[in-house]
Structure 1
């Protein structure tokens, strides 16, 4: 394992070093939260791909391939579809708004304050998303060092928290680019061909496995539809994703880079499912499908190369964990804590300190929760159910229905969130009903309350329209470099 240790040690040292370099770049709130809104198409595409393809997409994607075959790709495919739709339909508008959070966008569109409720929902989502990727560290460090899951979570989580606290979005962006390259090489160009070859190629896979493993809809139509609702639509509205959109230098950069990222996600989803399918052919009796990724890496790859692939998996987990962590911190400071200090201004230095301390506190909290949670896919489902059930209707309504009102948005967010949480408690975390019930209740509440309340004032809609056209609004953007 000496070669593996050396590769992983170099990788970890590189991530921390990049984080330290990011400390020099993060001089303002805009630098720390959205990388100064200065990313070009390559960095934008790489960092967008890195943030959406995390532990659940890598370890969880292989797990689903082990269980369902090629149709296990649907979880990651719907993520890719969501990224494509986001950048084809919304990205240009979001860049022009020049806000920091989803809550700020809702406040701008509806007038008055809606970010308290939306901030709580988004905070819960981003925190649980951080937890899912932090939880996945246990798989890698168990293979490397044969340490308990709690220790693996602590090691991986501490690294992410360190470089995220240091440089914020600049550190995360720079580490994401390195992680994107490592992940592409390790998963697509090493593990995928090696695993398929070891299983005897595609002919060998067909000879060893039941035909259902090669049915592209074998996972079930209802499950695919639920994935589209939960992950596809979830990618349209998540703070962690929007915050990356806000880093684009121009609307054109966001659109072009985002489309490339969406295509990459589709390829990555198929690759993970094929790796899992090969693992099923080679090791059909694993005690847990969750171990499929670690097993195939440990048994098929030589020292050094194994370290590279494990570094690729770490890259996937760390990029998503850090992106979700900075998103959770941004929601905390901009949407929630800001309510407690309304009317009080702070210097750039004070804002930076506040964001760094908040990021540190939330990072430690996510590590603690990850040490309790056991299923990475279930945790991700909880995060997306809360997000989509609580916020999707109000956000899409803000973008497409002028008759929608602040009262309708508040009713929609409150009703959808409560129904989703109650449904998950009563029907179970793996059930499809929570997202259906939550979205239905949210939509009814939004339309009904909007129609019986006063229209949004013309001056509010006028400000909204002006922002969408790219006109500046100094009140919400004071620190852009």
Structure 2
């Protein structure tokens, strides 16, 4: 009983500290630009903090350990693809994006192709990102239920309250501060966890020789097509997710945007490898657990109660922070690209700020319900589906606008975006052995290529 009380008290203390960080920053929010792009003053660590704060969440921690417990090294595709996607984004695209001076991806597309393409992109991105928010709730519920005997509905509401407390007041400013703090804490948690496991003699070599199923050590343990599809979905999703690009838009200058994105790309993949180690460790630990609880149970079983509570809270903050960032990205799209465009909507700074906060509340509460409805599902599978929907129709029009401006007409762009999205939706019913994203990107690329050739 004393161990449980110490664990709970230390966890609550850490949560209150992070909530306090967001509240302090929130007092400095005066207008919508502070809320949506942090006043365009983010430094290198601030840009990386926004990107990693949203990308490294439940899927990268709880979900990676869950999938590693069942499928082994195949769980690395999420963080490996995310890291490489950030490197590509930073290497050739972050600087011109920051120089564009826009706030959202649909706004950028509207400049090049018109309103129809931007609206289609906004809908696809928002739906796909919303699915990823639900995945964060699946992780958060799994975390809470390792400590508190809550039913899934109560756990979902608890996660929702934390998300709103972290984000709703401070927007991207508070999110950048919290993102940097939570990533530093996550590196500490996972590094100490891996060192603890190895200190018990469970080295990677020991795992390989003592786990009979050697397919767990193949990156294609659940199939070559699924592995490559997951990898590609992450790279494409990085380019087509509002909150990741919002970190670029918030940079103080184009060079900072580039360096911050590259920093995120370097730091992300090692986190996935450490999560995989913990998942495989728990597979050999001799305890019966639900796979989604591999990481939180490791923390609870192998650390002293005070330290365990701090680390458990750190993982929960990671999950909550990612859900907050993704929700914030959807809200930004809804306000900037939809509500502001309505002819009867007079959107001054104060009203835009209010509408952004209201949209966040609606998104979070509805995702809490969906998280409760689908509790127990494989977290990473939701995340891969999310990335596919975001990227299938938007990726090639977005890349063409950056690399070959004025080379693709609005009509052909609409065919590229709509065809790619439609292909992803119908592919599972026609080509059951082909990852839907492959077909979606093929259709979208074909329309884009044909449109460029005809224009030339």
Q: After TM superposition, is the score higher than 0.5?
A: yes
1:303 is matched with which residue?
Answer: 305
Instruction: Tell me the C-alpha RMSD between the 2 structures.
Output: 2.2
State which of 315, 319, 322 in structure 2 corresponds to 1:320.
322
Given that residues 126 and 240 in structure 1 are in contact (C-alpha distance below 8 angstroms), is that contact kept between their aligned partners in structure 2? no
Question: CA separation of 1:74/1:93 partners in 2, compared to 1, >3 Å: closer, same or farther?
Answer: same
Given that residues 130 and 366 in structure 1 are in contact (C-alpha distance below 8 angstroms), is that contact kept between their aligned partners in structure 2? yes
Is 1:99 aligned with 2:102? yes
1:156 is displaced (CA, Å) by 1.3
1:160 is displaced (CA, Å) by 0.6
Given that residues 191 and 309 in structure 1 are in contact (C-alpha distance below 8 angstroms), is that contact kept between their aligned partners in structure 2? no
Question: CA separation of 1:54/1:93 partners in 2, compared to 1, >3 Å: closer, same or farther?
Answer: same
- Distance in 2 (CA, whole Å) between partners of 1:419 and 1:286 is 41
TM-score for both structures, normalised by structure 1: 0.87
1:470 is matched with which residue?
Answer: none
Is 1:18 aligned with 2:18? no
Q: For residues 386-414 of structure 1, give each alpha carbon's deviation from its aligned partner in whole angstroms, at most 9, with x where no partner exists.
A: 11212112111222234211111111111
- What are the within-5 Å matches in structure 2 for residues 17-416 of structure 1? 17-111=20-114, 113-188=116-191, 190-198=192-200, 200-210=202-212, 211-215=214-218, 218=221, 220-283=223-286, 286=288, 288-341=290-343, 345-374=346-375, 375=377, 376-402=379-405, 403-416=407-420
**Greater shift in the superposed pair: 322-331 or 265-274:** 265-274
Gaps of 5+ in 1: 456-481
Given that residues 110 and 405 in structure 1 are in contact (C-alpha distance below 8 angstroms), is that contact kept between their aligned partners in structure 2? yes
- Distance in 1 (CA, whole Å) between partners of 2:413 and 2:178 is 37
Count of aligned positions: 449
Given that residues 226 and 435 in structure 2 are in contact (C-alpha distance below 8 angstroms), is that contact kept between their aligned partners in structure 1? no
- Distance in 2 (CA, whole Å) between partners of 1:20 and 1:259 is 29
TM-score for both structures, normalised by structure 2: 0.92
Secondary structure of 1:147's aligned partner: coil
- Distance in 2 (CA, whole Å) between partners of 1:131 and 1:214 is 29
1:420 is matched with which residue?
Answer: 424
- Distance in 2 (CA, whole Å) between partners of 1:11 and 1:370 is 24
Given that residues 139 and 292 in structure 2 are in contact (C-alpha distance below 8 angstroms), is that contact kept between their aligned partners in structure 1? no
Q: For residues 223-246 of structure 1, give each alpha carbon's deviation from its aligned partner in whole angstroms, at most 9, with x where no partner exists.
A: 332122101221122112101111
Gaps of 5+ in 2: none
Given that residues 12 and 313 in structure 2 are in contact (C-alpha distance below 8 angstroms), is that contact kept between their aligned partners in structure 1? no
- Distance in 2 (CA, whole Å) between partners of 1:208 and 1:184 is 27
Q: For residues 184-238 of structure 1, give each alpha carbon's deviation from its aligned partner in whole angstroms, at most 9, with x where no partner exists.
A: 21122x2222233335333432331134444455554333321221012211221
Q: For residues 286-323 of structure 1, give each alpha carbon's deviation from its aligned partner in whole angstroms, at most 9, with x where no partner exists.
A: 46432322332232222112112212211221121111
Given that residues 153 and 370 in structure 1 are in contact (C-alpha distance below 8 angstroms), is that contact kept between their aligned partners in structure 2? yes
